[in-house]
Chains A and B, each alone.
Chain A
C-alpha cells in the first residue's frame, strides 16, 4: 500500500444564477459582474479525491486553482471539505488566459507540487470547453483516463493503477492506466460532502501556497489575453426569439401542437 499525492484542480466560476456577460472592453468574461463560487462540477472532483485519499492511508489531497485573488474562497471551500493543502496561482498577467495558457500554468504548478494522480471536473460550467483535462495529460506526458463515471485506484501494486468507466457520447469503455495519471470525473459520480463546522474551522489553518508566474518559471508573455491563441472578433447579445404563440389547452392542445409542427414542416 503506498501513499498517494492527489492534486485536484478546482475553478472559480460566476454563480450559476447570475447573468454572464462579456466585458465590453476586452471581450473576456466579466468576472466582476457576477459572484464567484466553486464550480459545482469540481466538487465531484474534490469528493472523488477525498475518497481515494481515505482508501489509501497516508495520502494527501492538494487543491489547485488558478484565478484572481477572490478565488481563495474556492480554495477554502475545498479545504473545508477535507483537502489537506492548497496551491493558488495568482498573477495579474493571467487575465484573459485561454485553455492553452491555463493548462500550461496548471501543468507547471502540478509538476512543482508533485503528484501521483490529478483529478479534474470534466468540464467547467462557465467555459464549457471540456479540454483542460486532456491538455493537462498531454502537457504532463501521463495517461489520460478522463470522463469517468466510476474510478477505482489500486495502490497495492507498484506502480499503482487506476481503472475507470469512461462515458462518452457513443458509449462506455473501461480504461486502465498506471499512475501518475490524469483523471476527470462526471457529475453524479458521487455525492459531494458538505463541509462540517470542524472542517470549516480547520480550513483556516491549512497550508496554502500562493504562487505567481515567476515561481513557476513561466514568462508573463506566454499567458494572458495577449498570448491567447484565439481571439473574439465580435460579440453580440442573441436577438430575442421571434413571435411565439401560447395557448391554453381547451381539449385540443395536442392537436394544435401537431398543426404547429406541420406549419413548420417538422411533421
Chain B
C-alpha cells in the first residue's frame, strides 16, 4: 500500500483533532505517514493509535522561522523520496497556503476543503462541498500527487493502532528570500476550542443586542465546550471580534452542532455554516430564513430561552 503523507498539527505536545481526522481518512486510502514539524517523539504514541505507520520528525527552527516556504520544501522532499498516493493537510488558512505552494512546486493538482477522501481503483477522489454547501462535488487530480486539504470535523477520528516508528528527517534549506517571523503571540482563546475545528459552535447575531450580552452566548458555549461564533452584524457592531465571524467573508465551520442565536440566516451567513451536521436556531421571528436550515428551532426571545437552556444543560450533566 502506498504511503499517504499527513502533515501533523500539534500545540504544546498535543496532537490536534484535525490531524486525527486526517489519519482516519489516510488509513482508507493507504498507509499513513505522519510528518511532524518539531520533535515527533512525544506524539508518536497518539499518531500510531490513529494509524500512523511512521512518524517523520523534522525538528529544526528553520522550519518555523519563515512563512510557509520551508515546510513546503520539507514536504516536497518527502514526496520525492516516498512517492505517496496523496498528501493530506488540514484546511486551515496556513494549511491551504502550504498546499498551494506545494502544488506549484510539484505541478500537481490541489483540492481544498475536502470533506471526504476515497479510492476509486487507484485514483484518489475527494468530496467537496461548494457554494456554501449547496452543491456536493467529487473531484480528482489529473496530474501529480493529489494535494488535499481536509476541512476539520469532516470525519470522526477512528483509532486504528499501528506501530509508528519515529525517524528524524532532514530537508533542503529553502532557498530564495522569505518572510521572517519576528514574534508570536499565543491565541487568546481563553481555553475555548478554535472556531474552525470545534465540534460545537454557539453563534450570536444582532438579536443578542449588545456587546455585554455576548457573555450569555459565551456562557452557553462554555456549557457545551463550544467555540463562539458571530454574524457579521454582530462583528460590525463591535460586539465580538471579527475573527469570530462565520460566513462567506468569515470562517467556514462544519461542526457536529451549530446553535444560532438571534441570527436571521442571510445567504452570506449560511454560506459559512450550512454544512453543520445539526443546526439549532433561536429567533423571535418565525419567518427568519435560519429556520429553513434548522433541525430544531425555537421561535422566542433568546434572552429567555438561552438562560433556560444553560440551566437545563447543567441539570442534565449533573
Contacts from A to B (Cβ < 8 Å) = 16-17, 19-22, 27, 40-41, 98-100, 103, 122-123, 125, 128-135, 137-139, 141-147, 163, 166-178, 181, 187-188, 228-238, 241-249, 252-258, 260-262, 264, 266-267
Contact = CB atoms under 8 A, between A and B. Distances in A.
Contact of B286 (A129, A245, A248): A248
A188 B72 CA distance: 29
Contacts of B108: 229
Given A128-B252, A143-B177, 4 more contacts: A138-B101, A171-B186, A228-B142, A248-B286
Contact of B296 (A244, A248, A249): A244
A134 B97 contact: yes
Contacts of B306: 254
A130 B93 contact: yes
A262 B224 CA distance: 12
In this complex, the member of B69, B98, B101, B311 whose beta carbon has the largest number of chain A beta carbons within 10 angstroms is B101
Contacts, number: 275
A122 B97 CA distance: 10
A135 to B, nearest CB: 5
Nearest to A142: B177
Contact of A254 (B99, B109, B267, B305): B305
B103 to A, nearest CB: 6
B300 interface: yes
B235 to A, nearest CB: 8
A131 B280 contact: no
Nearest to A122: B93
Contacts of B134: 19-20, 237-238
A131 B309 contact: no
B194 to A, nearest CB: 6
Contacts of B267: 16-17
Given A247-B299, A255-B308, A99 B100 contact: yes
Q: Closest 5 interchain pairs by CB? A: A254-B308, A249-B300, A131-B100, A254-B309, A229-B109
B216 to A, nearest CB: 12
B181 interface: yes
B187 A238 contact: no
Interface string B76-113: 00000000000000001110111111011101111111
B127 to A, nearest CB: 10
Contacts of B67: 143-146, 166, 175
Interface of B: 11, 67-69, 72, 92-94, 96-101, 103-105, 107-113, 125, 129-131, 133-144, 176-187, 194-197, 200, 224, 235, 242-243, 245, 248-250, 252, 256-257, 267-268, 278-280, 282, 286, 291, 293-301, 304-313, 316-317
Nearest to B99: A131
Contacts of A98: 109
B126 to A, nearest CB: 9
Dominant SS at the B interface? mixed
B266 to A, nearest CB: 9
Contact of A267 (B113, B196, B248, B313): B313
B179 A188 contact: no
A127 to B, nearest CB: 9
Contacts of B235: 188
Contact of A229 (B107, B129, B181, B316): B107
Dominant SS at the A interface? mixed
Contacts of B113: 128-129
16 contacts: A41-B249, A128-B252, A129-B96, A138-B105, A228-B109, A229-B107, A229-B142, A230-B109, A230-B142, A232-B139, A235-B136, A235-B137, A238-B134, A249-B304, A258-B312, A261-B257
A169 B93 contact: yes
A169 B111 contact: no
A260 B316 CA distance: 12
B130 to A, nearest CB: 8
Contacts of B304: 249, 253-254
Contact of B179 (A145, A230, A238, A255): A145
Contacts of B182: 163, 173-176
Given A129-B112, A241-B293, A135 B100 contact: yes
B85 to A, nearest CB: 16
B298 A170 contact: no
A266 B94 contact: no
A128 B272 CA distance: 11
A255 B304 CA distance: 11
A166 B257 CA distance: 29
In this complex, the member of A131, A167, A169, A244 whose beta carbon has the largest number of chain B beta carbons within 10 angstroms is A169
Contacts of B142: 228-231
Contacts of B294: 244, 246
Given A141-B176, A144-B68, A228-B142, A171 B185 contact: yes
A232 B138 contact: yes
